[in-house]
Amino acid sequence: MSTKVRVRFAPSPTGHLHVGGARTALFNWLFARNKGGTFVLRIEDTDVERSTEESYRSVLEAMKWLGLDWDEGPAIGGDYGPYLQSERKDLYREWAERLVSEGKAYVCFCTPEELARKREELKKQGKDIKYDRQCRDLSPEEVKRLRDEGKPHVMRFKTPLGGETGVHDLVKGDVTFSNTTLDDFVIMKSDGFPTYNFAAVVDDALMKITHVIRGDDHLSNTPKQIVLYEALGVPAPAFAHVPMIMGPDKGRLSKRHGATSIGQFKQDGYLPEALVNYLALLSWAFDGATDLFTVEDLKRKFSLEKVSSTPAVFDYPKLQWMNGEYMKQRSIGDRVDLVVPHLERAGLVKSPLDDDTRSFVEKVVEVVGERLKVGEQIVDLAGFFFKDEVEYDPAAAEKFLRPLHVGPAFKILEERLRALEEFDETTIDPVMRGLVSEMGLKARDLFQPVRIALTGSRKSPGLFEVMVILGKDKTLERLEIARHKFT
RNA sequence: GUCCCCGUCGUCUAGCCUGGUUCAGGACACCGCCCUUUCACGGCGGCGACACGGGUUCAAAUCCCGUCGGGGACACCA
């Protein structure tokens, strides 16, 4: 038995948790659970400017909602803490100074303005944008003098001037980078915080991370990190770079395409288990034939070998379908809870639901049934139950309510329905079907007009159920209004 | 511009490593039929792909090279 697997998800709290980040977190989590390993959550808040408390809370909340529980990290601690990089500043400083004293890194006094200017210059000449290593060979005396003067400075790593660095990636295979393409990159910023590449290496080493699973946008950072591990004299973890998630236009996934943050999906009425299942299937497949996996399935079946190296387009329709599959498994109570916020937001029900309203909503959700795939759809699917006036789909109304037979048919129907003492499916059914055959119509010739008169749409829950929930009075009223309006 | 990654139905993918069993399988979406004297569900069926060009081989989606296309990285962001 080799050493115990330890993986980590290391988001920076600079925004909400995104589907891309969530998928990375999920793969790490699944890998850990599959191997009986440890899943660490580490917060990379070294960018003081952009990190916010709010993002931090939002990320944690999204993780919890998805069910991605961490074994070590914020709120619960662990043997390798602290788990916020901002609380580990001394550690990075210590390690960085050690590299400097060993001659593996150096202090650099170039100002950001100077560097930006030089970069512009290089860019104009069409040359490689690289640091010119101006401070690499400053004498120790010079360095001491400038530091004593309090001149702002960063620390840079002395990248090997030649040779190449190979990455043995568990997803991409062997990738080699020429060291000349590496730069003398910054490891400590002038504000005393470490840069990403340095902090990640120090922490992964200290936290005994065995596998780094992350987005493949980090692949080109990896050689830099590997040379750091070597300089620090600590073994590098295994790497697995998973492909990114793209938008439908194959570009970067953005709000323009739809929801991108986990919180947004939650708010739209998606189920966490559906999102987890869907995300797991982006660049990973078990047998290419199975789509639905419980979390337990995923834990049991996940493996890095089956992660593909091709990027995946986020397909909203498939997610919706999948959410619908999980919706079927939820109790009526769950679905009511899911739907209420959307009805509320649409102004269809009022904040604290009284018992009558709640049981009405319950009936509505019941008849909407499997048509409801995502919580927010309740408004389109069943809004007409709550509104005083029907909003007709113009094309549908024109096609089904305008025809000549509808007026007379409605009139008779209204009379017969009015005569009903009990207004339920067993009494409505014979009235409707009877009228159809009497008038020599096809069922849809009467049913569709009635449906549109009552709901405004050509698609709705079963007609009789709709009528029952609406009740006799509203049903008659809507029939009448439609008759006057269109015939 | 330089470096790196990727290229199977519209989309997610199986197959590729270990070439023949594949005129390429599943799912979502779309279309049609059946079921239902309504909507939907369900059942059945259809449409639909190996980026292109060379090479290796008796045989290539599978191996090699090139082209094109997409993406990523080149910061005192992570």
ipTM of this model? Answer: 0.95
Predicted confidence (pLDDT) at residue A430 exceeds the cutoff of 60:
yes
**In the structure, how far is the CA atom of residue A415 from the C1' atom of nucleotide B78, in angstroms?**
70
Asked if residues A156 and A187 have their Cβ atoms less than 8 Å apart, the reply is yes
Is residue A255 annotated as part of the catalytic site, yes or no? yes
Residue A256: per-residue pLDDT: 87
Predicted confidence (pLDDT) at residue A125 exceeds the cutoff of 80:
no
Predicted confidence (pLDDT) at residue A481 exceeds the cutoff of 70:
yes
CA distances from A134 to A106, A128, A163 (A): 11, 16, 21
Mean pLDDT over the full length of chain A = 93
Q: Which amino acid is at A65?
A: W
Burial of A471 (0-12, 13-18, 19+ CB in 10 A): exposed
CB atoms within 10 A of CB A236: 20
A19 touches strand B (CB under 7 A): no
pLDDT tens-place string over residues A37-85: 999 999 999 888 899 999 999 999 999 999 999 999 999 999 998 999 9
Buried b (16+ CB within 10 A) or exposed e, A27-45: bbbbbbbbbebbbbbbbbb
Check residues 255 to 274 of chain A and report those whose beta carbon is under 7 Å from nucleic acid strand B: none
Predicted confidence (pLDDT) at residue A124 exceeds the cutoff of 80:
no
CA A380 – CA A251 distance, rounded (Å): 30
Residue A391: per-residue pLDDT: 92
A445 touches strand B (CB under 7 A): no
**In the structure, how far is the CA atom of residue A292 from the C1' atom of nucleotide B52, in angstroms?**
36
Confidence (pTM): 0.94
Residue A252 phi/psi, 5-degree rounding, is -55, 135
Predicted confidence (pLDDT) at residue A1 exceeds the cutoff of 60:
no
A100 touches strand B (CB under 7 A): no
A366 touches strand B (CB under 7 A): no
Residue A381: per-residue pLDDT: 95
Mark the nucleotides of strand B covered by protein, meaning any atom under 7 Å from a CB. 1-8, 10-16, 25-29, 37-41, 70-78
Domains in chain A (CATH in brackets) are: 330-385 (1.10.8), 394-486 (1.10.10.350)
CA A125 – CA A118 distance, rounded (Å): 11
A50 touches strand B (CB under 7 A): yes
Residue from A123, A151, A255, A318 carrying the catalytic annotation? A255
Residue A241 phi/psi, 5-degree rounding, is -100, 115
Check residues 184 to 203 of chain A and report those whose beta carbon is under 7 Å from nucleic acid strand B: 185-186, 189-191, 193, 195-197
> Element (H or E) spanning A6, and its range?
strand A6-9
User: Which range among A104-118, A279-293, A298-312, A467-481 shows the weakest confidence by mean pLDDT?
Assistant: A104-118
Section A121-142 average pLDDT: 85
- Pull the structure tokens for residue A407: 């007026």
CA A360 – CA A362 distance, rounded (Å): 5
Residue A440: per-residue pLDDT: 86
A2 pLDDT tier (thresholds 50, 70, 90)? low
CA A329 – CA A370 distance, rounded (Å): 10
A118 touches strand B (CB under 7 A): no
A431 touches strand B (CB under 7 A): no
Check residues 200 to 229 of chain A and report those whose beta carbon is under 7 Å from nucleic acid strand B: 216-221
Section A313-317 average pLDDT: 96
A487 pLDDT tier (thresholds 50, 70, 90)? confident
pLDDT tens-place string over residues A194-216: 999 999 999 999 999 999 999 99
A112 touches strand B (CB under 7 A): yes
Q: Show Cβ contacts of residue A219 under 8 Å, excluding neighbours closer than 6 positions.
A: A167, A169, A172, A175, A241
pLDDT tens-place string over residues A435-449: 998 888 888 889 999
Check residues 277 to 336 of chain A and report those whose beta carbon is under 7 Å from nucleic acid strand B: 281-285, 287-289, 291, 306, 308-313, 315, 317-318, 320-321
* Closest nucleotide over all strands to A285 (CA to C1'): B13
Nearest of A152, A180, A151, A155 to residue A165 by alpha carbon: A180
Check residues 146 to 165 of chain A and report those whose beta carbon is under 7 Å from nucleic acid strand B: 152, 154
